[in-house]
Each structure stands twice: as C-alpha cells, then as structure tokens.
Amino acid sequence: MNFGELIKQLRIAKQLTLRQCCSDLGVDPSNWSKMERGVTAPPKDLGVLERWAKFFGVARCKKQEYLDLAAIARSEIPPDVASDQRVLTALPAFFRAVRGSRLEGDKLKEFIEDIRALHSPDQAVKG
C-alpha cells in the first residue's frame, strides 16, 4: 500500500466524499485527488500530516507507518529502492528495526528472507 491508497481508504472509512474531506481539512480537492492517485507527493510539513492523522483517527500504533508511507511517496529514498515493490513492502519492518523495535521469531525470519531475496533475481516479486 502507498500513501495515496492509505489516505483514500481512510477517507472512505470515514464515509466522506473527496469534496467533503477537502472542505473539512481546508485543502484543494484537485490536489487531494492527485495525492490519492500518487500523482503528487504528500506535504513535507509534519504538522499537516499529524493534523490529517488526527482527523482520520490514525491509531497511535499505526502513525509511524503512515508517516513512513508519506516519506516514501515523496521519494525521500533512492529511486532504485523506491521502484522495487519487494523493497517497499519490507521498508516498514526495516524502519521498525532501525528505530529499535524488536523483530523476533517469524517476523525476524521473514524480514531476513525478504532482505536476502532482494539480492536474488530469481526470488524477486513482480510489483
């Protein structure tokens, strides 16, 4: 899932039309639509992203993933990494590991397998 898909799901879960959502948030509907479709990147302003997360009721335990998806959508990672679907799928676990969260058991094994598979063209997942 990417940031655009996530905010669209959050908007729909709140039973808001695009125009209703934009009116409530004070944003331009055309720009919001482009962001949902991945045409334009989310804002860099952490305060704006935090306000949107609060508006949509993003759970505290999911907020970092929401912010990570926004960063990925802004291509704040190298383009070759950002274009690999398998890498993008593994990034949330990688970010948790880097931030000090513990990966144990099956999650750790899955993470290691995903990292190893990145270097094995025959194991690549088509995105």
Would you state the pLDDT for residue 78? 61
User: Are the C-beta atoms of residues 90 and 63 closer than 8 Å to each other?
Assistant: no
Per-residue tokens: 49: 């992203």
pTM: 0.65
**Using 50, 70 and 90 to split pLDDT, how confident is the model at 126?**
very low
pLDDT band, very low/low/confident/very high, at 121 (cuts 50, 70, 90): low
In this prediction, residue 12 carries a pLDDT of 97
Residue 76: per-residue pLDDT: 74
The answer to whether the CB of 29 falls within 8 A of the CB of 22 is yes
Contact 127, 118 (CB under 8 A): no
Q: Which domains are delineated in the chain?
A: 1-76 (1.10.260.40), 78-127 (no CATH)
**pLDDT tens digits for range 27-77:** 999 999 999 999 999 999 999 999 999 999 999 989 988 998 898 888 777
Mean pLDDT, the chain, whole residue set: 84
| pLDDT value for 107 | 73
In the predicted structure, residue 125 carries a pLDDT above the cut 80? no
More confident residue, 40 or 119: 40
